[in-house]
């Protein structure tokens, strides 16, 4: 499996990362190198092997239904380029 230049641009767009035209070829090569490595891994027979989700024998940690956080709107918006009344302001998006 490999990706073409169009797919590279598409992935960059979905992630909202600006990729200049002269960068596409290099990125395409890097992504295809990763994919080639994955292809090698796929040669290993993993029949009957459970997908490993953690390297330590841990269970998903859960917490109780208690409100322990929030009330920090000033902090939440502190780094935002534009705010008003503790709202974030972003360039208008209407669908």
Partner 1 sequence: MAAPDKPSKLVKGASGDWEVVIGMEVHAQVASHAKLFSGASTEFGGAPNAHVSLVDAAMPGMLPVINAECVRQAVRTGLGLNAKINFKSVFDRKNYFYPDLPQGYQISQYKSPVVGEGEVAVDMPHGETIKIGIERLHLEQDAGKLLHDRHPSMSYVDLNRSGVALMEIVSKPDLRSSDEAKAYMSKLRTIMRYLGTCDGDMEKGSLRADVNVSVRRPGAPLGTRCEIKNVNSIRFVGQAVDYEVRRQIKILEDGGKIEQETRLFDSDKGETRAMRNKEEAHDYRYFPDPDLLPLEFDAAYVEYLKSGLPELPDEKKVRFTRDFGLSAYDADVLVSERALADYFEAVAKGRDAKAAANWVINELTGRLNKEGKDFAASPVSTAQLGAVLDLIGEGVISGKIAKDVFEIVWNEGGDPRAIVEARGLKQVTDVGAIEKMVDDIIAKNPDKVEQAKANEKLLGWFVGQVMKASGGKANPQTVNELLKKKLKA
DSSP string for residues in 41-56:
HTTS--TTPPPP--SS
When binding is defined by CB under 8 A, the residue of 3, 4, 14, 46 that contacts partner 1 is: 14
Task: Note whether 86 binds partner 1 by CB under 8 A.
Answer: yes
Residue 22 or residue 60: which is nearer to partner 1 going by CB? Answer: 60
When binding is defined by CB under 8 A, the residue of 1, 15, 20, 41 that contacts partner 1 is: 15
Q: Which of residues 44-73 bind partner 1 (CB under 8 A)?
A: 53-54, 58-73
How many positions of this chain bind partner 1 (CB under 8 A)? 38
Question: 6 — phi, psi (to 5°)?
Answer: -65, -45
Report yes or no: 35 and 3 within 8 Å, Cβ to Cβ: yes
Query: What count of residues does the chain have?
Result: 95
Q: In whole angstroms, how close is the CB of 45 to partner 1 at the nearest point?
A: 22
Question: 46 — phi, psi (to 5°)?
Answer: -120, 25
Which residue, 8, 33, 32, is CA-closest to 20? 8
Binding site for partner 1 (CB under 8 A): 10, 14-16, 53-54, 58-73, 75-77, 82, 84-95
């Amino acid at each position: 499996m490999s990706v073409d230049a169009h797919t590279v641009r598409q992935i960059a767009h979905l992630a909202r990362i600006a990729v200049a035209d002269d960068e596409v070829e290099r990125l395409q090569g890097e992504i295809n190198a990763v994919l080639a490595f994955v292809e090698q891994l796929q040669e290993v027979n993993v029949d009957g092997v459970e997908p490993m989700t953690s390297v330590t024998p841990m269970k998903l940690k859960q917490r109780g239904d208690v409100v322990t956080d929030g009330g920090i709107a000033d902090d939440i918006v502190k780094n935002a380029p534009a705010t008003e009344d503790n709202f974030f302001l972003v360039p208008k998006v209407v669908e």
